[in-house]
Structure 1
Amino acid sequence: LLALVLATLTTNLAANVVAPANGFSNLAPGKISFRMGGYITAGIGIAIFPWKLLESTGAYIFTWLIGYSALLGPIAGIMLADYYLIRRTELDRDRLFRHDGAYRYKGGWNPAALVALVLGVLPNLPGFLKAAGFVDSVPAIFETIYAYAWFVGLAIAAIVHLLLMKLRRN
Structure 2
Amino acid sequence: YSPIDIITKYSPSAAIAFFGLIFAFMATASTNLTGDVPAATNAIIRITRLGWVKSLTIATILAWLLIGPYSMVNWKQSLDVADYLTNFNWYYSMWLGPIAGVMVVDFWLVRKKEYVLDELYNIGPQGKYWYSGGINWIGVGSFLAGIIGEYLISGARGTIQFYYGIPVPGEELAWYYGFFISLFLYWLLALAFKVYALPEKYSKKQ
TM-score range, shorter chain: 0.5 to 0.7
Residue identity matched to 1:162: W
Match of 2:82? 54
Report the AA paired with residue 24 of structure 1: A
Q: Deviations over 1:80-131 (max 9, x none)?
A: 21123322x2415377447334323246542322222222223435869715
1:149 to 174, 188, 191: 174
Match for residue 146 of structure 2 among 120, 128, 131: 120
State the TM-score, normalized to the length of structure 2. Answer: 0.48
Name the CA distance, whole Å, in 1 between partners of 2:39 and 2:143.
Answer: 22
Unaligned runs of 5+ in 1: 1-10
Runs of 4+ in structure 1 over 6 Å off? 40-44
Q: Does 2:141 match 1:110?
A: no
Residue of structure 2 in register with 1:83 after alignment: 107
Residue of structure 2 equivalent to 1:22: 41
The whole-number CA distance in structure 1 between the counterparts of 2:65 and 2:151 is 26
Which structure has the larger Rg over C-alpha atoms?
2
Q: Report the TM-score, using the length of structure 1 for normalisation.
A: 0.55
How well do the aligned residues superpose, as a CA RMSD in angstroms?
Answer: 4.7
Q: Which structure is richer in relative contact order (CA contacts within 8 A, separation 6 or more)?
A: 1
Number of aligned residue pairs: give it: 148
Kept in 2: contact 1:21–1:41 (CA 8 A): no
Residue pair 1:117, 1:157 contacting (<8 A) in 2 also: yes
Question: 2:165 — aligned with what?
Answer: 134
Among all aligned residue pairs of Structure 1 and Structure 2, give the percentage whose two residues are the same amino acid: 20
| 1:169 equivalenced with 2:195 (yes/no) | yes
Cα distance 1:50–1:93, how it changes in 2: closer, same or farther (>3 A)? farther
Distance 1:24 1:149 in 2: 29
Cα 1:162–1:133 shift into 2, 3 Å: same
Aligned residues of 2:149 and 2:181 also touching (Cα < 8 A): no
| Cα offset, 1:77, TM superposition | 0.6
- AA aligned to 1:79 is M
Structure 2 unaligned spans of 5+: 1-28, 71-76, 197-206
